[in-house]
Amino acid sequence: MTAAFYDAAEGRSPEARAKDQLARLNAQFQHMRSAQPFWADRLPEATLTSLADLAALPLLRKSDLVAMQGENAPLGGLNGNPVGALRRLFVSPGPIFDPEGRGRDWWNSAAALHAAGVRQGDVILNTFSYHLTPAAFIFEGGAEAIGCPVIPAGPGNTADQLVAIAQYRPRVYVGVPDFLKIILDKADEAGADRSSLKIGMVTGAALPESLRAEFAARGVDVRQCYGTADLGIIAYETGGNGMVVSENAILEIVRPGTGDPVAPGEVGEIVVTRLDLDYPLVRFATGDMSAFLTEPQPDGRTGPRIKGWMGRADQATKVKGMFVRPEQIAAVARAVPGCGRLRLEVSRDGQQDRMHLRAEHPDPATAIVLAEKLAELTRLKGSVEVVTPGSLPNDGKVIADLR
């Protein structure tokens, strides 16, 4: 293990990683089938022989969580251990109720912090909220695992933040990138000493390269990670290209509106299976878009990598008062063999909504059957244009609302 790795798992062979994750997943499925009626009906009884077997299982979405938790409080029956055995209980917008289990680095943030340069003894200024939502505690767990004291600053109160920075001299900032800029700006305006801040770990908002460069010019090396309140940290920057996927997450990229994995490099929706017994989520569709990177990485880590956050997969829109969803466009593609990417463009023609489907297919004559299927599955008529395979943008967009 090199000093750059948080642990040896980051540098193991892809074959060793897949074998270990498959064994853990099968053991987790056995526990879930015996302990949770919801999963007992949803998971296969046969042992999985490959991680690719996950693709045959249905997706679980946030909307499912809201409905399930409403019917079966507090966690919809998805918790693998009793609620009384959990560590913390959160309320996120929705509302969605998220638990935190017990155990070291339960949210999987330590590797992300370590990859950013955080080491034992570094003081961390944690500016995520400590009220009802888990973001602050996600990074608390990683800081504790590495051995770092934390200033539980939360967001806002810039004057108090500057006092804490001057007194405790934190080396690490954790929070959204915009608030880091506010702190640096306010410190410089006030002539306050913020020179101890050298590392930023940010998430929850966009980090334009121009802003990253500004931070670097002001002495703060900033890295990003990607996670959710349901899953913890899913992927993180390491200094190589993109973001490496957490060792405790099995990540798929699927075509929006389906559970079907796309080819490497194709943009699609991020679907995650979390390896954990407290709150196991299988094929949880995040609604976020990304793509796997396929080029070799320079930093020695061997895990799969994604490009980072590339927008939202929920592209549903209303046409003539009726919702049209990516699932319906995916069904059109499945009904016509040989289709590549499809993109439904919604525009206005005078005072009327207009649908125009662009479909990759080698045979232009398929436009007729595609138009029939589009009308059948959406109950709306639209024009169809068959285009050359590979000619539509690789951006994961299935519905483009041009109005």
pLDDT higher than 70, residue 275 = yes
Q: Is the whole-model pTM more than 0.75?
A: yes
What's the DSSP call for residue 95?
T
The CA distance from 174 to 154, in Å, is 10
pLDDT tens sequence across 124-138: 999 999 999 999 999
User: Once rounded to an integer, what is the mean pLDDT over residues 284-288?
Assistant: 92
Domain covering 318-401: architecture: 2-Layer Sandwich (3.30)
- Tell me the sheet residues that pair with 359: 342, 386
Rg, the chain, Cα only: 23
Domain map (residue ranges) of the chain:
8-312, 318-401
Answer whether 324's CB lies under 8 Å from 355's CB. yes
- Among 92-96, 225-229, 321-325, the range with the most confident prediction by mean pLDDT is 225-229
Identity at 30, one-letter amino acid code: Q
Answer whether 299's CB lies under 8 Å from 239's CB. yes
The CA distance from 52 to 403, in Å, is 39
- Number of Cβ within a 10 Å radius of residue 102: 11
Q: Which two tokens stand for residue 103?
A: 């155990």
User: Once rounded to an integer, what is the mean pLDDT over residues 189-207?
Assistant: 95
Confidence of residue 181 (pLDDT cuts 50, 70, 90): very high
Asked, colleague to colleague, whether 8-312 and 318-401 share their fold, the answer is: no
- Among 112-126, 195-209, 300-314, the range with the most confident prediction by mean pLDDT is 112-126
**% of the chain surpassing 70 pLDDT:** 99
φ, ψ (nearest 5 deg) of residue 17: -65, -50
Identity at 333, one-letter amino acid code: A
Half-sphere exposure of 308 (CA within 13 A, CB side): 17
- CATH assignment of 8-312? 3.40.50.12780
**% of the chain surpassing 90 pLDDT:** 79
Q: What angle do CA 65, 66, 67 make, to 5 degrees?
A: 90
Question: Which value, to the nearest 10 degrees, does the dihedral of the CA atoms of residues 154, 155, 160, 165 take?
Answer: 70
- Number of Cβ within a 10 Å radius of residue 354: 17
The CA distance from 377 to 331, in Å, is 8
- Cβ burial of 364 (10 Å; 0-12, 13-18, 19+) is exposed
Answer whether 336's CB lies under 8 Å from 373's CB. yes
Q: Which two tokens stand for residue 68?
A: 């399930």
Helix/strand/coil (H/E/C) assignment for every residue in 265-296 = CCCEEEEEEECCCCCCCCCEEEEEEECECCCC
Q: What is the pLDDT of residue 1?
A: 39
